[in-house]
A and B are shown apart, each in its own frame.
Chain A
Amino acid sequence: MTARAHAAGGIARLAGALSRGAGRGGGTTLPGRVFLSLAPAGIPELAAALTDGVTVVSATNGKTTTSAMLAHILGAEREVCHNGAGANLMSGVVTTLLQRPEAATVGVLEVDEAALPAVVSGVAPRVVALGNLFRDQLDRHGELEMVADRWRTMVGGVPEQTTLVLCADDPVIDALGTDRERVVRYGIDDPAVALAKRDEAADSTACVRCGRAYAYDAVYLGHLGAYRCPSGDHARGVLDIAARDVRPLGLEGTAFRLDAPDGATEATLALPGLYNVENALAAIATAYALGIPTATSIARLATFRAAFGRFERIPMDGREVVLILFKNPTGANEALRAIAPDLPGAHVVLALNDRIADGRDVSWIWDIDFEGALDAAASIVCSGRRAADLAVRLRYADVPLDRIDRLRETDVALDRAVADAAPGARVYVLATYTAMFDLHRQLADRGLTEPFWEERR
């Protein structure tokens, strides 16, 4: 390591320690920011200290869960350097590298979509795993197509020996593997679990080559599925790793058969929703690219549990509270589908905030298919700073006005729902990021759950 990078690393770590000591927080990004200002050219050296290489994971949806799954798989045999606290911009990535455990030999970095090109050129990853691109917080990222363009340029600059792990179900992601040797494509292949029609929220319907609308043989979520362009210039690539015979097990999770080049294995995932099947496929395919047999990954994933707000279940006064983070229409639609069979008799709390991490523009709630989705619920309470926007949305989904309650504070709304719920009943909380974060802290303060260390943006 150069003297300059070495010195910068020391100062940056010290700054982080001082900040934490002063109770100022910021420990997940401050050292990185200090390092970037002192020795920006030293990032490759930081990454090179991980002798088994670095993997970066990005996507609009699922990057946190995918990278946590991958770290869980790798962690069974090696010390992993992973930004599990969710600081996924350049500053957070550099902080993670600076604070790597001494014995760590391998890196798993979750990276924000906009920050990805800079991180990839900085850390020279062994594997780049790309999941999907959805419209998400347009006010922060600009248009989806702009992000897609940056990713195309980035992939053009990635050396041939780097492996790309790509979700073939997303046309934009699939096309990134064109003309490359080292590519692992994964996807779902089971028409039995396909949607009857594409969600209204779906993006990327135009062929990446010619602009014509794709025809879909099966749609799994949003614009993900088995597609082909009528012009014949692009269709979903051949799946190296596929989930077939998918069996949803309600809130308990999902079972499927994994077909891979190293054999077929039965898999049971303790997380509900096709979303999480995509996340698990991404983690298994990435681990495979790193030399871990798919059957080994599946065995290890059996002990993987949900992260913050991803169907986290918390007992409260003899009722069960289920926390579900929602941040864009596709994720919300998938969550509504997952809870639908269990809704009769259950109570629902929705929470919409409009801080930067939630997206300041709340128009996306109009792309959620609320029509009929909550009719079976015993009660519905809207909360958060934009509770009234949610209430208006439900009104236009034909939820009767007298069924729509509004309570600005999400914890108060939850208390109301729990009080209304029969013993043993479930209360579902669907909340945007900061609303979920605040609620989780309040529940932890009451001793109902463990405090969560995730701190981001």
Chain B
Amino acid sequence: MLRIVPIYPELLSIYADRGNVRVLAQRARWRGIDVEVAPLALGEDLDPVRADAILIGGGQDRDQALVADALIAQAPALRSAIADGVPVLAVCGGFQLLGHRYVDQSGTETPGTGLVDLETIAGRHRLIGNVVVDVQLGSATHQMVGFENHAGRTTLGADVKALGRVRVGQGNNGDGFAEGCRVDRVIGTYVHGPLLPKNPWLADQVLAWACEHRGLSTALEPLDDRLETAAVTTAIEVARAQQR
């Protein structure tokens, strides 16, 4: 049984992050893999041994501050899961919570989990729009598409690599270069839409890592992704049009 653990989905699901959970679970089911979605509720403790994939979504500023303390308390369990090869996908606010701290527009500082060496400071205006990012994963380069909407400007530590290189959009800092972060199987990104429906290659990568952690075969049968391909084609078209 593969266990997908969304963290505090009641509070961290502002940009339809449930879509990522659903996509991951469905792509497992369609391949005959037994899968369970076991959300971590506020006040509960994460059992690092029982999780095979961890998803952290984004929240409104107020909700994010509410969950920060709780999440920090789970950091040792998260660290142990990560060391054990469990993939973590963190989007928007979740990405920010991976880092050391988030400073909002009024200068108030919310500490993060410090799982990844990065920090975020709110900028004066929000960075909003369709994005296309080139992501190198193994030997393949993929186009990651979606939508960004964040006030935070995220700076990565010297040893942390970006997840990808922005083709269309504004990226971590609004400078149009780096997007997201990746440290082995920990992925952070500002791209929602939500992320996985239009990027099935990424969903399958996370799924393969999760299967490996559970001791299952990582050779995933191909699925019929024609609709996804059509959605990506439109998304790139729309993103390029917005750029002009």
Contact = CB atoms under 8 A, between A and B. Distances in A.
B147 A363 contact: yes
A434 to B, nearest CB: 14
A363 B130 contact: no
Given A139-B149, A401-B224, 12 more contacts: A138-B14, A145-B62, A205-B10, A360-B130, A361-B15, A361-B147, A363-B192, A363-B193, A366-B16, A388-B227, A391-B231, A392-B228
Interface stretch (B19-27, B170-178, B214-222): B19-27
Contact of B16 (A142, A364, A392): A364
B169 interface: no
Contact of B22 (A143, A389, A396): A396
Contacts of B63: 206
B49 interface: no
B158 interface: no
Nearest to A385: B234
B227 A401 contact: yes
A235 B10 CA distance: 20
A441 B177 CA distance: 43
29 contacts: A138-B14, A139-B129, A142-B126, A143-B14, A143-B61, A144-B60, A205-B11, A206-B11, A206-B66, A211-B66, A354-B238, A361-B147, A361-B149, A362-B147, A363-B192, A363-B193, A366-B18, A366-B194, A388-B227, A389-B231, A389-B235, A391-B227, A391-B231, A392-B198, A395-B227, A396-B22, A396-B197, A404-B227, A406-B227
Contacts of A391: 227, 230-231
Nearest to B23: A396
Given A213-B10, A396-B22, A360 B197 contact: no
Given A138-B14, A206-B66, A367-B18, A388 B231 contact: yes
What band does the interface of chain A fall in when counting residues whose beta carbon is under 8 Å from B? Answer: 20 to 34
B197 A361 contact: no
Contacts of B227: 388, 391-392, 395, 401, 404, 406
B128 interface: yes
Contacts of B129: 139, 360
A4 interface: no
Interface in A371-401: 385-386, 388-389, 391-393, 395-396, 398, 401
A142 B235 CA distance: 22
B61 A145 contact: yes
A135 interface: yes
Interface of A: 135, 138-139, 142-145, 200, 205-206, 211, 213, 354, 360-367, 385-386, 388-389, 391-393, 395-396, 398, 401, 404, 406
Interface in B2-38: 10-11, 13-16, 18-19, 22-23, 26
A50 B13 CA distance: 45
A380 B69 CA distance: 45
B182 to A, nearest CB: 22
Contact of A363 (B11, B22, B26, B194): B194
A396 B22 CA distance: 7
B216 to A, nearest CB: 22
A361 B66 contact: no
Contact of A406 (B18, B61, B192, B230): B230
Nearest to A329: B16
Interchain residue pairs A-B with the least CB separation, the first 9 = A366-B19, A366-B16, A388-B231, A388-B230, A363-B16, A361-B147, A391-B227, A143-B60, A145-B60
B234 A366 contact: no
Nearest to A208: B62
Contact of B18 (A200, A385, A388): A200
A367 B120 CA distance: 27
Contacts of A367: 13, 16, 18-19
Nearest to B235: A389
Given A145-B61, A206-B66, A366 B197 contact: yes
A360 B234 CA distance: 13
Contacts of B66: 206, 211
Nearest to B25: A396
Given A145-B61, A406-B230, A363 B224 contact: no
